[in-house]
Amino acid sequence: MVRVTELGYLGLSVSDPAAWHEYAGSIIGMEIVDEGEPDRTYLRMDNWHHRIVLHEGAVDGVTDDLVYIGWRVPGPVELEQMADQLRAADIAFEVGTDAEAAERRVLGLLKLTDPGGIPTEIFYSPQVDTYKPFHPGRAMYGRFLTGDQGLGHLVLRENDPAAAIRFYRALGLEGATEYKLAMGDMVATPTFMHCNARQHSIAFGFGPMDKRVNHLMIEYTELDDLGLTHDQIRARKVDVTMQLGKHSNDQALTFYAANPSGWLWEPGWGARRLPAQQEHYLRDIFGHDNEVPGYGLDIPLK
């Protein structure tokens, strides 16, 4: 079986690019790249051409939400094997055109849709601008932890978790529920899936969501960068939905702050690598107290 190796890139549709540049650049530390295109700018986290495309306005009628996810495979042979594997699993896909590959700054891609309706791409060979050192949007002590762990993790809207598990397993991700969270007389059992040493690259099953995405987790190599981001978020009175705390599964120190599109980013530091065997938990280690409600993550993690 061929497996995707990492969460490689994302497309976001945004109604307020200026606010996004302030948030992603001045607060979080990403590099803003404007190549003079009328409808988009790019966010860099390392020496790739970009990790995130900010599409100005609606994409296919969707605004202020996730508009595509790019999963990486090692090379063209694996992309062909992935196509065979999708055919065998009865998952519909299209082969991206040369123009579509060039637009994404990759050499080849497949295009499909996940069970939650999220446009999904599987690609190989991103454009890596080694000549252009990453230049953070604000001073940073360290870097974003990317590389073979991908750009971070996503929590997605999957109204049919069993179908989502089948789909992502067909792409080569593995995982299962990792929490039993008592919510009144219900027990939430969210699923976490991984494809590399990052403890999870996607998760779903936290309850109803308006948007396709609840949050993007990005990770710093240095604790002090998480601290600077936290100070900036607090100074600017950005909504924090869950306060600083440490998850039981990835053991990262994180908090959740609203972005200008009204969903969440989860800046973090210090995650452990994926353990060899599955575990599950009843709560987080400490913190993660709920603060501002209404962002789809009003769950008792502690």
Residue 155 is a binding residue for ligand MBD (CB under 6 A): yes
Number of residues that bind Fe ion (CB under 5 A): 2
Dihedral sign computed on CA atoms, order 37, 43, 47, 51: negative
> Within positions 263 to 302, which residues make up the interface with Fe ion, using CB under 5 A?
266
Least distance in Å: CB of 13 to ligand MBD?
22
Least distance in Å: CB of 281 to ligand MBD?
8
> Within positions 209 to 228, which residues make up the interface with Fe ion, using CB under 5 A?
217
Compose the 245-274 pattern: x for residues touching ligand MBD by CB under 6 A, - for all others.
--x-xx---------------x--------
Q: Which residue, 29 or 152, has its beta carbon nearer to ligand MBD?
A: 152
Instruction: Report what 247 binds from ligand MBD, Fe ion, none; CB cut-off 5-8 Å by kind.
Output: ligand MBD
Nearest to 70 by CA among 129, 33, 13, 110: 110
Q: Which residue, 217 or 258, has its beta carbon nearer to ligand MBD?
A: 217
List the alpha helices (DSSP H) in the chain.
17-21, 76-88, 98-104, 161-170, 223-235
* Token pair listed for 54: 């900010």
> Are 131 and 115 a contacting pair, CB within 8 Å?
no
Residue 246 phi/psi, 5° resolution?
Answer: -120, 120
226 three-state secondary structure? helix
> Are 6 and 78 a contacting pair, CB within 8 Å?
no
What residue is closest to Fe ion based on CB? Answer: 217
Instruction: Report what 28 binds from Fe ion, ligand MBD, none; CB cut-off 5-8 Å by kind.
Output: none
Least distance in Å: CB of 141 to Fe ion?
22
Number of residues that bind ligand MBD (CB under 6 A): 6
Least distance in Å: CB of 248 to Fe ion?
12
DSSP 34-96: --S-SSEEEEESSSBS-SEEEEES-BTTB-SEEEEEEEE-SSHHHHHHHHHHHHHTT---EEP
List of residues contacting Fe ion (CB under 5 A)? 217, 266
The residues of the shown chain that bind ligand MBD, judged by CB under 6 A, are: 155, 217, 247, 249-250, 266
